[in-house]
A and B are shown apart, each in its own frame.
Chain A
Amino acid sequence: MLTPQEADSLFHTVRVMAEEGRTVIFISHKLHEVKAVSDRVTVLRCGKNVDTVETKDATPRSLAALMVGREVALAGRIERETEIGQVVLEVRDLWSVGDRGDDALRGVSLTVHAGEVVAIAGVAGNGQRELAEAVTGMRSSSRGDVTVDGRRLHAGDAREAIRAGVAHVPEDRLHTGVAPSLSIASNVALKSYRGKELARGPMLRLRAIREHAARLIRRYDVRGGGPDLPARQLSGGNLQKVVLAREFDGAPRVLVIASPTRGLDVAAIETVHRYLREAAAGGVGVLLISEDLDEILALADRIGVMYEGVIVGELDAGETTVEEIGLLMAGGARE
């Protein structure tokens, strides 16, 4: 993951290489990158060569249509009336140790209101993953607190965070978001199996779990198999729908959602974004962590930029530019 400025310089290098007479094959699903760097575009869909077009004749919209096989609404900013409610998530001076033993979070503070989408931008590895994990209780924090709906959570207690109404769509959906070899039904019940609807005392109500899953599969239009299919056999987009279905089903107060559309096709991205907007409209406070600035600009109300474990700048999504965010992502505010 590069900042927009770094990406520009990479594309420039690629162009220079091409001008020197080398052949460059550039594989991407980012339409503006393809537009910026290529001469000719070949679109693949379902393992088949759909079409090859000259870049100058193509528009992002026409390429997207080729990729999906139908017209799609590209992720553009949709102005909406944000009904911002009271504070649902407050993070104050949060410190946490990363996997490498250093401080990955060095005093992060932020607030999210009901109905608001707050995005965290940043180059991967600047503490975004640790922030998501610390807020959702998957990672212990060494200092600071996380407060949900006025209730202070214990550090590193994922169960308490779930009970407090924190939903979490993790970055690594295949190995964190689901248990890949278990059935869709089991994965839909991953957090709710303790509740009265799905269990009686220590025993599981297997039929209820299956029916519950079948209901959500229908409602969220998960395609590829029924409740008994192992989760790993779903495509990325359908897997993400399973995760979203489970997380929204718990009627959350806060949704922490990390790189929700990475690796998904244009149609699946459209769906995920629609669900996200619906959640916010329904009064959920959304903390969106993403490296995709187009996505952030399309969805967020406010943007915080993370650099080396701290939030180096807060921007209003309606008034900022990619360049401004990019500068902050590269640590520009520090100098």
Chain B
Amino acid sequence: MIISMKKYILSLSLLFATFLITYGQSADPLVSKCVMSAGQTTKYLKDFRVQLGEGGSESDFRFKANMSLWKNTIYRFTMCNSDDSKGQLILTIKDKANKTILSSFDPETGKIYSFVDLHCNKSGIYQLYYDFTNKQSGSAVGVISMIR
């Protein structure tokens, strides 16, 4: 009885471990979808999975990352929101001197662009800031690709 119980627990543990490994390996469908939506003429470079709760100061971006961008390269920044995301993902890029290079949100018209192409002419390390509109909660992905 004890031996069969042990076997049962062992089998369950193995099944659970297999599930974890398989689950861990599977790519996030939203990321895959977003990579594909970046367009036929692009080549994938990186992605950032952004999942945030509600709240935070109006002036602060809640998701920050650094990335090097190189001169004579056209980068495409694509933003994809999951279906259940309350807010829409917006991106702002600043240089080392904290100067804003681009924003996917136009405060004058209120328009949010789902992708922004940057013709980079200054090599360096830039800060990428992601957040959701009106500091709402949300789940989204930002994909960075190169345009051929």
> A and B from one assembly?
no
Binding site for B on A (CB under 8 A): none
